[in-house]
């Protein structure tokens, strides 16, 4: 799964759905199936109170371990949305503590992602 669409399942912050492209598989010692992704369009800095717009995020499976890297995953996949790490070792280990920015869901189709946004959030 190289490209997919991310929505928030908890807030209005990821409207419209964001296209994500997988960059790399990472681990933090607890979860070995974290996915570093690019985000388009970028998420404005005021959405999560970050220093600048977010062009990269780190995603981790909320329920189904390994789902992000399955050849044919069942969609949607529910994920934790983390700020992209600032430092990663050469072997893909995230050294910093992760904090959840949001909870989300990923879909392989834009229209399915858009349809999953709660009606009163549109």
Q: Which letter does DSSP use for residue 119 in this model? A: G
CB atoms within 10 A of CB 120: 6
pLDDT of res. 89: 76
Structure token pair of residue 14: 């990821």
pTM of the entire predicted model: 0.89
CA quadruple 89, 93, 95, 99: dihedral sign: positive
Domain hosting 22: range is: 3-121
DSSP string, 9-43: SS-STT-SPEEEEEEEEEB-SS-S-EEEEEEEEEE
Q: What is the dihedral angle through the alpha carbons of 18, 68, 12, 100, rounded to the nearest 10 degrees?
A: -120
Domain count, the chain: 1
Task: List, for residues 43-75, the tens digit of each pLDDT value.
Answer: 888 888 888 889 999 999 998 777 899 888 889
């Amino acid at each position: 799964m190289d490209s997919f669409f991310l929505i928030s399942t908890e807030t209005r912050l990821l409207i419209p759905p964001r296209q994500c492209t997988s960059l790399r598989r990472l681990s933090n010692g607890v979860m070995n199936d974290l996915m570093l992704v690019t985000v388009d369009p970028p998420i404005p800095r005021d959405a999560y109170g970050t220093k600048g717009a977010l062009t990269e995020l780190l995603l981790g499976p909320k329920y189904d371990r390994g789902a992000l890297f399955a050849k044919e995953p069942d969609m949607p996949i529910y994920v934790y949305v983390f700020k992209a790490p600032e430092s990663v070792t050469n072997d893909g280990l995230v050294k910093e503590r992760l904090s959840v920015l949001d909870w989300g869901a990923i879909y392989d189709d834009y229209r399915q992602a858009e349809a999953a946004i709660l009606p009163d959030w549109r």
